[in-house]
Structure 1
């Protein structure tokens, strides 16, 4: 709607001698720390937004560069010999929600790197060939500025007989091309599966017949596979194309990179908790959402934390003590993590520090700043340890690959350390052969994680010295922890078979390699034990983590029907008026004249059957709200008609064809 509704308030006329009623004003001014929290939000989200944009661009950079190079490598200008049309088959994957943003980035890349016009087409705006040509000409001619407007372009394309070409005639596009500096026309069909097979074939044949006058480049977005797309085309249409295939990174992999960018790094001041992470990832998977939806949900989480949590003011890097009032410190002393911290100090006998925390706001302020830095360091070590586990599982062969997001959810819940997955990873490293161990060290060195306490370079040098002096260069070195180095011996004693396990004799190089792997395993296990902590056990975890699901459920997965039913059945929950509250407290949901007309009619609606007699509804409604005055009856009639019209708008009732004076009931409460 272009115009917004406004309401005029006309106060009642006062009788002489009566003073006007004074309104009770409640001071609802903004808190003192509002501006500080707003500054902290913009500071924290600017860093996150930069990392997310870098992750999105990095995910598609290689594919976009290949597509731009393909378009740029096409011979510019029309060719009289009518060669096959250069065609790019872009395998975008099944996530339809990510196709639009990808093609927008593709458009920006092609326009910036090539001397070409980019024309995107989709099945919704091109139901047939004629509409496709109209859309193609309209988008192409409006893509670059020319010296002529659309009417002059139509007039310039007129034939010598004086007749104008139709708006789907490619002569218009030819006249426009002759007046613009572009040398190629790139047509991108985003959702090729949404087009009918005949439309695609006819489009290819028509564009091929014009290829000696117009230089076309086709890009087909394919959600399935190139073979399935080829099966939809005729043999003659395939011969008119010269294709090259481009595979786009899948939406799940792109989301993993974006998610990883939001939790890694020492610059991240706020991290999302496990429950909210699980909710966002499940919603993205179940509803095939795009990365922009995940971006919006994450930004909303930041806004909820900084705008609704007064304690988030301490994440402001330039915060001073005199900017915080005493009430904020008193609220912080009620946090569960603060109570746990005080109890831990009490067990250690630090009673003087406890008194300072409870009595001195300035001492508490310094303590908060110190422990926030320690907490952020601990969380950085946690996400670094998660990345180490991911690298180890990817480097060790014959292990099941696990996504980073799932490991983060488990670690943020405190369930990762000591789990079967962690024990299996450590065991596989301990039993790894020399070639596998070398691959593990190379992967850790190339990952760039600075949180590892062990010196990877020294381990690589020691392993290189062992393999260089190995007598059996064809076989890798084995660890004595490997089960393959154990043998079973069978001994017959007193007519009984005795099975015993013995370790195979290891060479000197194998024994030295076993010591090297054992030392690396012990250091790795100690590092994971220290790093994989439960984030909720940290002091001031309520400030460092945000893990509330209810705001996101209400905003991103609303329940409008439940809200409407609740408003109609319990208007007091929204109006907060005393009249509805009294009627509600008397006997359940008893009808009262003080209730809104829609609420009264809804109670009558619930008590009726599948067919509602409108006259009976009116009589019952009038008996509750009306009186014997004829003028008041007109008002009651208008209220009844308005309420019934609202029910029809909400879909609660609809006219019945069986009986003229009846309406059909469409919804039942709670079903």
Structure 2
């Protein structure tokens, strides 16, 4: 699924990398690189850092599938200087099956000079040599891997792709030296640079002076924003009728908030979605029915009486049963076979609702996404979240959007109806609705120049309703809102409608009725708990973790995680069976800003020895072991950020945190 998300940008990148040195080795190549420019692709990936590894790994795999076997990935943490960069570059490029003998697993890169001249010699040796019959490897595993590698056909002079994953992390001198080296050897090596940029292309000019940046022939590739990738992921998972699992309103909103306010990572969103699915199937016993529609009947037949009773006790089922006939209600409670038939029917009702829910929601989004201030949201996920919470037609936002939609121009309405018709035709159950929208669209087109003609009285389909008021003794209170409503109604009655306005009102009335019938809140459907994950507290507890609270709980009460009897004590007490780090932590809570290491050591020894006051030689082996344990525990506490070294007092450490367990 991740490859499908990044498919378009990968196609453009691969075409650029393939054509960058398409004439290498020919006479045209020398004339093409008279100015020694290095082909460079600037890939704008965005700030969604967890997704970068996925992007580069997928791109690496696609390049290996027929473009080039010579790919190097460079990260700033591994390249603090030009020497380390060249070592990484040469090491990754030369570790190929062509350079390995039958008895070698890898080349000892320490024995190879890491220079560009060595790289040029290696490249021409591997590409210009003839291809005699290779010796069979003694190892079947190596022979199999080489055979698999030989199945992929590469061009005679495949390009050398150097992927710089995080350009912002590299220092300017290292980049300058590397680019100058690549430019000087571009006629001998078909090098292509791929810069991974999280911000903007201007970072290239910020890191490189003009005489270096002029050596690059840069082409920009802008990946879609992470929010667009998120919409595609939601469309392929939660809005796909082939996948019965869904998220409840609160869980869906939680995952959206974590995405929008934390990391903008679709990879993390997918992992959270997987965890929510795991939590749903683990905690909800009735989730055994969360399967494809054709498998529901067989699974229902395998249910025993306890399982059926448990399903009948679900809140959504309890709300649905009273709507059935009286005789059927009695049979469901008494007859197991009838109960299974009813559960199967309820599951089919849920599947039918999900099948029609998504296309109709798409239609509503098409009509309302361009409205001013976007009352129903600009993105489909916003509308979907609102539909999960309650019936959308009963919200104030929908009423406001409906009023704005009744002012569409004719061309806009024709375009929207055409898009809605395409969405409805994707579902066979909505063919009648699609035909009705096509009829409205045809009538709007046929109006032509007569759309501004007024409707005659006899052409009105329905007479205006006459309001009947009851005579009461009390006078109705007039408010600003009621007065505004009365004035608008009177203005509508006094003003004659044009033919287009009358047809538009009929069309919007039909759409409103369609939305009311099909966009019912999923919470009102039977077996809602089976197909929708609603365990928001459990999902939030595990996904939106509090590391500081968990760390303090583990250090102050190790029994909470270890679950051992020896560590189970009253709150505040310490026993010798506690882990050394827990003892050190609880002792440091009793100290002030500065902690004397010698006193801390003596207190630690006292606790570990169980408070024994026997006089023992200080140089015994046991004391040396205790000293080592103490030093290790203090180092771990420093690593966790609770203490630090200080120069204000000799043999003291400073405490960095306050507050106990």
Measured against the shorter chain, the TM-score band is: 0.7 to 0.9
Check the 8 A contact 1:654/1:665 in 2, yes or no: yes
Q: Where do residues 522-671 of structure 1 align in structure 2 (5 Å cutoff)?
A: 522-567=509-554, 569-570=556-557, 573=560, 584=570, 589=571, 591=573, 596=578, 605-610=588-593, 611=595, 613-614=599-600, 617=603, 621=607, 626=612, 646=633, 649-651=636-638, 652=642, 665-669=655-659
Note if contact 1:655-1:663 (Cα within 8 Å) is conserved in structure 2.
yes
Q: Is the 8 A contact 2:67 2:158 kept in 1?
A: no
Q: Check the 8 A contact 1:278/1:409 in 2, yes or no.
A: yes
Distance between the aligned counterparts of 2:586 and 2:417, measured in 1? 71
Correspondence 1:73 to 2:29: no
Matching residue of 1:477: none
The one of 390, 393, 408 aligned to 2:384: 408
Report the counterpart of residue 99 of structure 1 in structure 2. 52
Choose from 395, 418, 424 the match for 1:419: 395
**Among candidates 202, 209, 225, match of residue 234 of structure 1:** 209
Query: RMSD of aligned C-alpha atoms?
Result: 4.2
Sort the Cα spacing of 1:208 and 1:538 in 2 relative to 1 into closer, same or farther, 3 A: same
Q: Does 1:334 align with 2:313?
A: yes
> Any idea what the Cα deviations from partners look like across 1:351-406, whole Å, max 9, x if unmatched?
54333333333322222221122123223433333322221234557857612222
Give 2:122's match in structure 1, choosing from 150, 164, 175. 175
Q: Does 1:459 align with 2:440?
A: yes
CA shift at 1:341, angstroms?
A: 3.5
Of 411-420 and 108-117, the range deviating more from structure 2: 108-117
Q: Which residue of structure 2 lines up, in the alignment, with residue 325 of structure 1?
A: 304
2:440 matched to 1:440?
no
- In the TM superposition, residue 123 of structure 1 has moved relative to its aligned partner by 1.8
Task: Describe the shift of the 1:167–1:257 C-alpha distance in structure 2 as closer, same or farther (beyond 3 A).
Answer: same
Query: Are 1:395 and 1:439, in contact at CA under 8 Å, matched by a contact in 2?
Result: no
SS at match of 2:78: coil
1:391-402 correspondence runs (5 A): 391-394=366-369, 399=374, 402=378
* SS of match in other structure, 1:417: helix
SS of the residue aligned with 2:392? coil
Q: Is 1:187 matched with 2:162?
A: yes
Contact kept, 8 Å, 1:92 with 1:248, in 2: the verdict is: yes
User: Once the 2 structures are TM-superposed, how far is the Cα of residue 523 of structure 1 from its aligned partner?
Assistant: 1.3
Q: Deviations over 1:158-194 (max 9, x none)?
A: xxxxxx8722333234323431343322222222222
**1:309 aligns to what?**
284
- Counterpart Cα distance in 2 of 1:503 and 1:538: 39
Paired residues for 1:27-66 under 5 Å: 53=1, 56-66=2-12
**Of 243, 262, 266, which aligns to 1:268?**
243
Query: What is the CA–CA distance in structure 1 between the aligned matches of 2:605 and 2:106, rounded to whole Å?
Result: 67
Q: CA deviation at 1:86?
A: 2.4
- Report whether the alignment pairs 1:518 with 2:471: no
What CA distance in whole angstroms lies between the structure 2 residues aligned with 1:577 and 1:69? Answer: 60
2: CA distance between counterparts of 1:136 and 1:647? 40
Q: 1:284 aligns with which of 254, 259, 267?
A: 259
Say which SS state the counterpart of residue 80 (structure 1) adopts: helix
TM-score, normalization: structure 1? 0.73
The answer on whether the counterparts of 1:416 and 1:532 sit within 8 Å (CA) in structure 2 is yes
Quote how far apart the aligned CAs of 1:259 are. 1.4
Q: Deviations over 1:52-111 (max 9, x none)?
A: x1xx44433222222222222233315334343222222222323323322333233334
Quote the residue 2:131 is aligned against: none
Return the alpha-carbon distance in structure 1 between the equivalents of residues 86 and 574 of structure 2.
63
**Do the aligned residues in 2 keep the contact of 1:165 with 1:172 (CA within 8 Å)?**
no
Alpha carbons 1:396, 1:440 under 8 Å: kept = no
Q: Is the 8 A contact 1:131 1:168 kept in 2?
A: no
Partners in 2 of 1:239 and 1:593 — Cα distance? 69
- Aligned partners of 2:71 and 2:160 also within 8 Å: yes
Residue 522 of structure 1: CA displacement? Answer: 0.9
Residues 541-598 of structure 1 deviation map (CA, whole Å, 9 limit, x = unaligned):
11111022344334334334423433454566557788987x64xxxx3648698576
656 and 446 in structure 1: CA distance in 2 versus 1, 3 angstrom threshold = same
Give me the whole-angstrom Cα distance separating, in 2, the residues matched to 1:314 and 1:207: 60
Q: Summarize the Cα distance change of 1:152–1:285 in structure 2 as closer, same or farther, 3 Å threshold.
A: closer
Task: Give the direction of change, closer, same or farther, for the CA distance of 1:170–1:394 in structure 2 (3 Å limit).
Answer: farther
State the 1:436 CA deviation.
Answer: 1.2
- With over 3 angstroms needed to count, the CA separation of the structure-2 counterparts of 1:576 and 1:332, relative to structure 1, is farther
- Cα distance in structure 2, aligned partners of 1:165 and 1:622: 54
Q: In 2, distance between residues paired with 1:64 and 1:579? A: 57
Match of 1:492 in 2: none
CA separation in 2, counterparts of 1:230 and 1:579? 63
Q: Which residue of 2 aligns with 1:160?
A: none
Q: TM-score, normalised by structure 2?
A: 0.74
Q: Relative to 1, partners in 2 of residues 1:630 and 1:542: Cα closer, same or farther, differing over 3 Å?
A: farther
Task: Say if 1:141 and 1:173, in contact at 8 Å, map to a contact too.
Answer: no
Q: Which residue of 1 aligns with 2:113?
A: 166
Aligned length: 572
- Equivalent residue of 2:260, what SS? helix
Offset, 1:662: 6.2
Per-residue CA deviations over 1:133-157 (Å, capped at 9, x if unaligned) read 22222222225534659999999x9
1:29-64 Cα distance to aligned partner (Å, 9 max, x none): xxxxxxxxxxxxxxxxxxxxxxxx1xx444332222
Q: Is this contact kept in 1: 2:82–2:177, CA < 8 A?
A: yes
Structure 2's unaligned 5+ residue stretches are 128-155, 454-486
* Corresponding residue number in structure 2 for 1:366: 341
